[in-house]
């Protein structure tokens, strides 16, 4: 996913330790220098960068790697724990009986996040949720929010013609008094100007919201820290939502909002749609960031549309090397529910699937196009053909091509792809560490990270 740039930078830095068994001053210096640059390029602030690098250096000198662990893995483990520590523990939020005020600058994703959160807590916590549109500056804000939540049971309150935000909030709180959880969307500005300060102040006093979350775009860069600090002064930020983590290689800047407010990141936004919200979990976030993969995350995806048992079964089959075209088809269906390849890739350990996690944008686009075509072809195949692709002869290829309106070579390409995937899956089944990780995950329901389960 996001932060790919940082992930690459970190790997490059730790590459200086590759195949080293003993700590060597020169390599250590090269590594810390390169790491410092990678963190800064990802918008970590100077203080955070300094702290992480110094702690890594000190711990590398003090702590012996466990037997059998390479220096590089040792460094990665330390970096992992340091980054998790920097982000703090994951916040568990229970929405019952509370009011949440969303604040943030112009265009950061407040309105979208309002809808995402409403839908999330309605579904996951089974509470009655209402939203109040208190943005009187952005034309069409009420229509935008209503449209996002269309078809859900969330109550949407707004007064598109009222020019005073405080009035809307006052009326809205009354109109939504039967809800268990009320979310208030507010106006943004390019910067926190006087008018916005006064307006927010008024709304905050009226709403007496227990929760005040700052919505911040992952791409804001170094400005995130100061912006967060001023909103914190104004409203006392209690939580952070980082949006647009699907589209950026940066994000360290948003992380510095954590340092500025002391408030935890509660959720992350990973797309434009209402369903594109995730709970923020620092350990999983960091393990994904470091390319350790997040297989549990893959299985967690969209539990409403995705049959968890099916996902488990499929994963087990993948690992065992029994892999029919039907399985590949299901896997592709799963992928299409998950959304883009990009998103799926971010859940796999770097290097798995032949290093596709590092694939370029154009490669990924090409892959998505392939998937669409494969799917059309498979729709023209019988169940037997999907189970026994190796036995498909020329005549069947011709029939399938005709049925799906593609060239025969496209059908052969699909079978070739299946063959390659099958071989790769077989190879993965023989990967002791990955197998162990999978088994453990299935037993405990979650992935644990230790030196042994690292993918290198």
| Residues binding ligand GTP (CB under 6 A) | 104, 106-112, 135, 138, 141, 188, 243-244, 246-247, 269-272, 276
Q: How far is the CB of 91 from ligand GTP (least distance, A)?
A: 18
Instruction: Pick the closer one to Mg ion by CB: 111 or 346.
Output: 111
CA 14 from centroid of its chain's CA atoms: 24
**Stretch 68-107: interaction string toward Mg ion, x if CB under 5 A:** ----------------------------------------
- Angstrom distance (rounded) from CA 317 to CA 323: 6
Q: State the pairing for strand pair 265-269/277-279.
A: antiparallel
Of 109-117, 297-305, 334-342, 381-389: span binding Mg ion (CB under 5 A)? 109-117
Q: Report what 15 binds from Mg ion, ligand GTP, none; CB cut-off 5-8 Å by kind.
A: none
CB-nearer residue toward Mg ion: 111 or 421: 111
Cβ at position 392, least distance to Mg ion in Å: 53
Q: Which is nearer to Mg ion, 141 or 454 (CB)?
A: 141
8 Å CB contact between 217 and 244 = yes
Q: How far is the CB of 141 from Mg ion (least distance, A)?
A: 5
CB-nearer residue toward Mg ion: 191 or 305: 191
Give least dist CB 244 to ligand GTP, A: 4
Residue 405 per-residue DSSP state? T
67, burial (CB in 10 Å: exposed 0-12, middle 13-18, buried 19+): exposed
Which pair of structure tokens corresponds to residue 28?
A: 């250590």
Task: From the list Mg ion, ligand GTP, none, pick the one residue 244 interacts with, judged by a Cβ distance below 5 to 8 Å according to partner type.
Answer: ligand GTP
111 in contact with Mg ion (CB under 5 A) = yes
Q: Which does 404 bind (CB under 5 to 8 A by kind): ligand GTP, Mg ion, none?
A: none
Please state the separation of Cα 101 from the chain's center in Å: 23
Residue 38 or 196: which CB sits closer to Mg ion? 196
Residue by residue, DSSP assigns 215-250 as: EEEGGGGGGHHHHHHHHHHHH---EEEEE-TTS-S-
Q: In what order do the strands lie in the sheet with 129-133?
A: 155-157, 129-133, 181-185, 98-103, 211-217, 239-243, 265-269, 277-279
Interface with Mg ion by CB under 5 A: which residues? 110-111
């Amino acid at each position: 996913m996001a932060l790919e740039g940082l992930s690459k930078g970190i790997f490059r830095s730790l590459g200086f330790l590759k195949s080293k068994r003993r700590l060597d001053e020169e390599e250590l210096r090269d590594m810390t220098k390169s790491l410092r640059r990678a963190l800064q390029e990802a918008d970590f602030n100077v203080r955070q960068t300094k702290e992480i690098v110094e702690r890594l250096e000190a711990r590398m000198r003090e702590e012996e790697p466990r037997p059998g662990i390479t220096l590089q893995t040792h460094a990665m483990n330390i970096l992992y724990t340091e980054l998790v520590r920097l982000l703090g523990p994951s916040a568990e939020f229970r929405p019952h009986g509370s009011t949440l005020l969303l604040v943030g600058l112009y265009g950061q994703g407040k309105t979208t996040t309002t809808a995402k959160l409403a839908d999330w807590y309605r579904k996951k916590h089974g509470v009655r949720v209402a939203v109040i549109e208190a943005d009187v500056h952005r034309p069409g804000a009420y229509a935008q929010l209503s449209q996002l939540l269309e078809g859900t049971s969330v109550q949407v309150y707004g007064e598109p013609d009222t020019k005073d935000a405080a009035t809307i909030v006052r009326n809205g709180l009354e109109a939504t008094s039967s809800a268990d959880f009320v979310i208030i969307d507010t106006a943004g500005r390019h910067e926190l100007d006087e008018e916005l300060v006064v307006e927010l102040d008024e709304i905050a006093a009226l709403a007496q919201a227990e929760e005040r979350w700052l919505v911040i775009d992952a791409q804001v860069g170094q400005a995130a820290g100061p912006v967060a600090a001023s909103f914190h002064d104004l409203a006392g930020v209690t939580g952070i939502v980082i949006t647009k983590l699907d589209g950026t290689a940066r994000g360290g800047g948003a992380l510095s909002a954590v340092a500025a407010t002391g408030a935890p990141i509660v959720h992350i936004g990973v797309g434009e749609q209402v369903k594109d919200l995730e709970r923020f979990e620092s350990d999983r976030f960091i393990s994904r960031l470091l390319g350790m993969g997040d297989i549990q995350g893959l299985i967690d995806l969209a539990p409403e549309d995705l049959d968890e048992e099916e996902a488990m079964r499929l994963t087990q089959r993948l690992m065992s090397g029994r892999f029919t075209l039907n399985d590949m088809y299901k896997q592709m269906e799963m992928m299409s529910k998950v959304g883009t390849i990009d998103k799926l890739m971010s859940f796999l350990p770097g290097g798995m699937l032949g290093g596709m996690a590092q694939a370029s944008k154009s490669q990924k686009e090409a892959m998505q196009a392939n998937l669409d075509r494969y799917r059309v072809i498979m729709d023209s195949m019988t169940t037997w053909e999907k189970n026994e692709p190796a036995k498909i002869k020329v005549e069947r290829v011709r029939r399938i091509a005709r049925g799906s309106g593609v060239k025969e070579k496209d059908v052969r390409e699909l079978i070739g792809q299946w063959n390659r995937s099958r071989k790769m899956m077989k190879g993965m089944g023989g990967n002791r560490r990955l197998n162990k990780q999978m088994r453990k995950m299935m037993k405990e329901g979650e992935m644990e990270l230790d030196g042994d389960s690292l993918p290198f």
